[in-house]
Structure 1
Amino acid sequence: MSIRRVMPVLHAEAADPADGEFYAALGFEQVMTHGWITTYASPTTPAAQLSIMTADRTAPVNPEVSIEVEDVDAVHDAMRARGAEIVHPLQDEDWGVRRFFVRDPHGRVLNVLSHR
């Protein structure tokens, strides 16, 4: 199973325009925003990213980390075979990803995804 990127998901009560200025001062560029989530990336190392999320649009909980993998279906099958708790079912989202949420052994919620 190939991992393409791992990205922290930071939580915020509300979207704040000052976030963009703050992260720009650290060298990040805004690369995606949906209102409820905004992602910033390094222009020189595009896989170096972080997201700020208020509340996930389709899931019952917010993840703490996003992990982009080559084959999300294979990872989903592996997690189910381990008996891991699937917190949000495997599904295609209208913003172009296929994903599921799984709880790790320490209780953290991970968003595992592939771009379609």
Structure 2
Amino acid sequence: MAVRRVVPNIRSEAVGESREFYGLLGFEEVMNHGWIMTLGSASTPAAQVSVMTEDRTAPVVPDLSVEVDDVDAAYEAMLQRGAEIIHPLTDEEWGVRRFFVRDPNGRVVNVLAHR
């Protein structure tokens, strides 16, 4: 299994202000679903940060997202380890397959792959 990118997720009600702040560091809006906005670097597209007011289909806002090439294998590995699954493996309407798992530090990780 290969990691494609890692994106920190910031829970915030200051979405516009966050866009302006991170824009000063060279980030541009690359996705906006209303409840989640992702900002990325034009020169390094995998360098991203997401700002979220909520998670539309999951019970919590994850602390970070890890995009992998095989989300099903990642899910099975976490189940075999006995990890705490916060949000089950789900095909989301916006084109990702994902699940949430709690890491040893108590952080919630959104593990995903694009379909």
TM-score by length of 2: 0.96
Structure-1 residue corresponding to 2:4: 4
| 1:19 CA displacement | 2.2
Listed one character per residue, the Cα deviations across residues 45-95 of structure 1 (whole Å, up to 9, x for unaligned) are 000000001110000111001000000000000000000010000010001
RMSD: 0.9
**1:1-116 matched pairs, under 5 angstroms:** 1-12=1-12, 14-116=13-115
Runs of 4 or more above 4 Å deviation: none
Distance 2:73 2:10 in 1: 27
Q: Does the 8 Å CA contact 1:15/1:35 hold for their aligned counterparts? A: no
TM-score by length of 1: 0.96
Listed one character per residue, the Cα deviations across residues 3-60 of structure 1 (whole Å, up to 9, x for unaligned) are 0000100111x25323222221110110000111100000000000000011100001
Structure 1: runs of 5 or more not aligned: none
Q: Does the 8 Å CA contact 1:89/1:100 hold for their aligned counterparts? A: yes
Q: Does the 8 Å CA contact 1:15/1:36 hold for their aligned counterparts? A: no
How many residues get paired? Answer: 115
Structure 2: runs of 5 or more not aligned: none
